[in-house]
A = this chain, B = another copy of it.
Amino acid sequence: MRNPVALFLCLGALLAPANARAQQAEVPDAMPNNIPYGPTVTADRAAEIVEAVMAAGRMGARDWKLAIAVVDPHGDLVYFYKMDDTQYGSTTIAVNKARSAARMRRPTQVFSELMQTTAGSFAPTLGPDVVASPGGVPLIENGRLIGGIGCSGASGAQDHVACTAGANVLR
């Protein structure tokens, strides 16, 4: 058993009741992870998406300072915009969230909830492609994943709201 992840999986299988797989749909997974990859989001589309994120971050009394990253399906950067006075640490965090959303084909909120709902028994040790903090969302168009968007700078819940507004441009 040279692979520690394999051990984790075995443990999970032992603890899971027989109907574990049947309950899979109840998992707070807002988006299936088997969506096929499509062409890369274009730069122009990415710019529109980021515009929508910024509008969401400034709506009403909101004054969220956000770093916003759009990546292609592989996690390579396509577009990045950091609002003035956003905390510097959000530069890399936004990129990490976008990459996780694209490469894992799920909102990063899924991993964050997983940690909370399992009372700490899930801690992602799978590397930089699994960020367990809300604010990364896949970009879906015509039933295909064409990239990911990541936001950082506000609270996790706010980051999620903001980048979801961006992803909704495509729907």
A9 B27 Cβ-Cβ under 8 A: yes
- C-alpha gap A110/B10 in the complex (Å): 12
A93 B127 Cβ-Cβ under 8 A: yes
A103 CB, nearest partner CB in chain B, Å: 3
B89 A104 Cβ-Cβ under 8 A: yes
A23 B116 Cβ-Cβ under 8 A: yes
B43 A84 Cβ-Cβ under 8 A: yes
Interface flags for A19-52 (1: CB within 8 Å of B; 0: not) read 0110111111100011011001011000100000
B33 A3 Cβ-Cβ under 8 A: yes
B120 A118 Cβ-Cβ under 8 A: yes
B85 A82 Cβ-Cβ under 8 A: no
Tell me if A141 is interfacial: C-beta within 8 Å of chain B. Answer: no
- C-alpha gap A75/B3 in the complex (Å): 20
| Nearest B residue (CB) for A88 | B103
A5 B4 Cβ-Cβ under 8 A: yes
B124 A115 Cβ-Cβ under 8 A: no
